[in-house]
Structure 1
């Protein structure tokens, strides 16, 4: 059966080692000398080792005591860090983060998981919508952070990464070969007009096969090989893939994933969230961190975590 070290006894041991004696350590700890001595005795008994050399005028550490001291300091530092983080009211509160539907995966789950581990008392509300809607909410002060997918970037934003748009179809599908090309887009999808314009410039006829308010409906239509759509490279849903068209469809322009942070989102908690977002979108590295299994469901409605 595993045995546990007494952290109170370890604290007394470190105090004695630092103070050079039980009397001074007792004063630092606000304990009686006999209480400190008793804790040291219990610690030695639990380890079945002599930790202090009491033969001289001052107390010295035995070789075993010197070995324990380094571990004891680390254990106490970790204990104090946990207590400070879990009980300090500075690490309480709420952050509201807005993310477009199509880039929730693969990065956001990893960001939320890491953040919850570091700040378990902070409540994160994840709001998923379209870039236009997210920017409107941000302007009204309803979000602390938003991510956007845009051609450019407004004042106060920070570009996390720039990735190309790709034509997306069913795995092994042939809908992209049909003329006119059948397209599936949400009504407010920011990629819609650019994709249609690219087809017009290439002289390729197209028609809207599905227009929906739901990303799930679009994904289902594309996965059924009834239409194609456009998404940022690396964000395609399960059962879909980038279309390998060999030049038979026009190339699409790149899109920026930007982060906007509210002026009131300050302090260690907000800075930690900003740092995690940057890490998981790998600025300039051309990839996302936090990839989840392909069969994981995608978020399409506001979620509170």
Structure 2
């Protein structure tokens, strides 16, 4: 019996539909009609011989077969893109000292950098992680070539490569209980001048919601651990949610009163004008493309901004928020 081959384009469409839970949203991202998206999904279902999605008038969900395929689709797409990039691009060599904000794609980053190292064995890559402000200062001191960090670490410079909506986060397993002091929201925070802290206090103050600081930690991992343990709520990006932490339903959680909306955050590339374009441009392209392939999303950010070297011009909406 002849083995059926999976179509990469169909897998990309399927991954985006699965992540957005919408044929219409997927069509908008891919520049195709809803009918065209439906036809691609049917072709993929015919190829695998199973239903991949269940559809209602309001939502789209994965079937058990769809869940299995999605986990493999991300890896297939990433490997395909890495292979084509390596075949198409001339070999690059050199040395790049990269700084990355510690909460920027924490789960995917090591995996992507390992792929980059295999794809470009002639590039020596040194990685430093930390808080955004510290990394930008290290670059200014000549210790790093380029930095991927939160924009407000140096608001007048840098080229935006990510934008993401922030969310309220709480424990996945422990019930959220507000103290008996008028429904004050229990907060887990980092010390000032952390942006997490400022955002939380600003939006709660603007909404006239009472709050109380239950726990102050000195690392992002400590913050997530405190939230996972049920001490209180905090703010983060969806891409940074770790095991034991969930996104709050702001209409029902936190004492029954809605929590205020949160702003989005921008992650920018710093140091680009003084760095070797053939190295930094290729690395940023690789990370951007790899994230989309791994997560199966079309996220919002103008990657051609300021005439930078990256070739992607789509708007993305992914990762990262830090201090």
TM-score class normalised by the smaller sequence: 0.5 to 0.7
Which secondary structure does the structure 1 equivalent of 2:96 belong to?
strand
Unaligned runs of 5+ in 2: 1-86, 252-256, 292-298, 302-314
Once residues 252 and 151 of structure 1 are traced to their aligned partners in structure 2, the CA distance between those partners, rounded to angstroms, is 16
Q: Work out the CA distance in 2 between the residues paired with 1:267 and 1:199.
A: 42
**Mapped pair 1:129 → 2:134:** no
Give the CA RMSD over aligned residues: 2.6
Alignment of 1:97-246 (within 5 A): 97-150=98-151, 154-175=155-176, 177-178=178-179, 179-187=183-191, 188-246=193-251
Q: Distance in 2 between matches of 1:155 and 1:199?
A: 27
Unmatched 5+ stretches in structure 1:
1-80, 289-305
The corresponding residue for 1:6 is none
| Bigger-Rg structure (1/2) | 1
Name 1:91's counterpart in structure 2. 93
Contact 1:99 1:146 in 2 (8 A): yes
On the 8 A contact 1:168/1:228 being kept in 2, the answer is yes
Q: TM-score, normalised by structure 2?
A: 0.56
Q: 1:171: how far off?
A: 0.8
TM-score, length basis structure 1: 0.59
Say if 2:307 is the partner of 1:285.
no
Q: For the residues of structure 2 that align with 1:95 and 1:255, how far apart are their CA atoms? A: 26
Quote the Cα distance in structure 2 between the aligned partners of 1:199 and 1:222. Answer: 18
C-alpha contact 1:119 1:269 (8 A) present in aligned 2: no
User: What is residue 27 of structure 2 aligned with on the other side?
Assistant: none
Question: 1:225 Cα deviation (Å)?
Answer: 0.9
Q: Are residue 260 (structure 1) and residue 262 (structure 2) matched?
A: no
Change (3 A) 1:152 1:140: closer
